[in-house]
Amino acid sequence: MMINNMRLQNFRNYENETIQFMPGTNILIGDNGQGKTNIIEGIYYLLTGKSYRVHREQELLRWDQSEFHLYGDFLMNDRKVSLESHYKDKRKMVKINKVSCQRLSDFVGTINVIFFSPDDLVMIKGGPSERRRFLDLHIAQMRPGHVSILNAYNKVIQQKSALLKSFTDKHLKYSQLQLWNEQIIELGEKIILNRADLTQRLQDAADPIYGNLSSKKEKLMILYYALGKRTANEAISEFPKLLNDKLDQEIERQMVLVGPHRDDLQILLNNKPARLYASQGQQRSLVLSLKLAELEIIRQEKGEYPLLLLDDVLSELDRFRRDYLIKFIESSHIQTLITMTSADNHLELGTLYFVEQGHIRRET
């Protein structure tokens, strides 16, 4: 998969800028605050419908503007695909080849992308919500319907939570909670199965990569704990009982205590939680392994590698990990966009673009 060109209108610090990208590696160079990351963010938003930096579209608007527009031309399996994303009047609209999509799930996954930045260490060091987000974002690219399932599940959780906090008669509340639990089970089972499947594929793909990075001295293990259980089948079989057993406690605490919205992905290094025991260097190797594993899984699924976006990653990796990543990119012929403040010794990597105050110039 490749991006041929990108147009940003009133997005972040870009008024109206068009960029032509090249096959292979594209390096965006510029001082901090000039707009390098904004280009990466724009591409990611165009492909996923989400920003990895903020939650509100208003924060993506150019100063004193009320709408932004993103356009991109891509190549997928030798087929040209045109994508658009518009935010106007506080509403979002997306198009594929000029045709509007009714749902975001009809759009996400058209062109796949893997994003990697130093902030991704939060996958290791952060809480369960960060790791659930990592799983769900990846699943959505391969199984767009996962977005609809998650949205429906979250709405049910919100409704159940509102009921738990209401002053409804306790007897009536019990019967209504049972109805919400039925929907939680139906939707939750699908989420659990999707996450468990991806976890196993990540384990299979990331383990040999991490083995190479650690000279076979360390062992990576990735486990998905659904409802606190080690296997998806065990979690699903006990789901109704767990919900029923926690019902009184949920009413007392006025919160939903059971469901995949509380699950976690355990990342273990030599059978110990990496969050607690892995060094900074080991954590970087773990994240790098997971990102490269994502690339391989999408290649297996779609028949070609996705677009790879690296935001200031090379400066954060030591020479060994940096060289490993570069060799992987070059040998796999993955189109890659990299941001950095200076070219340094990476001039031989690919095409250079200089970014300054919201304008881009390609070196000729």
Give the annotated binding-site residues: 30-37
DSSP 217: -
Residue 257 falls in which region: left (phi positive, over 0), alpha (psi -120 to 50) or beta: alpha
Q: Which residues are annotated as a binding site for ATP?
A: 30-37
- Residue 63, classified by CB atoms within 10 Å of its CB into exposed (0-12), middle (13-18) or buried (19+), is exposed
Block residue for tokens 């793909």: 205
265 Cβ contact partners less than 8 Å away, ≥ 6 residues apart = 128, 131, 132, 134, 135, 195, 199, 222, 223, 224, 225
Question: Which amino acid is located at 248 in the chain?
Answer: D
- Residue 3, classified by CB atoms within 10 Å of its CB into exposed (0-12), middle (13-18) or buried (19+), is buried
Q: To which H or E segment does residue 87 belong?
A: strand 79-88
Q: Find the Cα–Cα–Cα–Cα dihedral 30, 35, 36, 39, rounded to 10°.
A: -150
184 Cβ contact partners less than 8 Å away, ≥ 6 residues apart = 153, 156, 157, 160, 243, 256, 258, 259
Q: To which H or E segment does residue 342 belong?
A: none
The phi and psi torsions of 345 (rounded to 5 degrees) equal -100, 15
Q: How far apart are CA 294 and CA 134, in angstroms?
A: 10
CA 332, 334, 338, 342 torsion-angle sign: positive
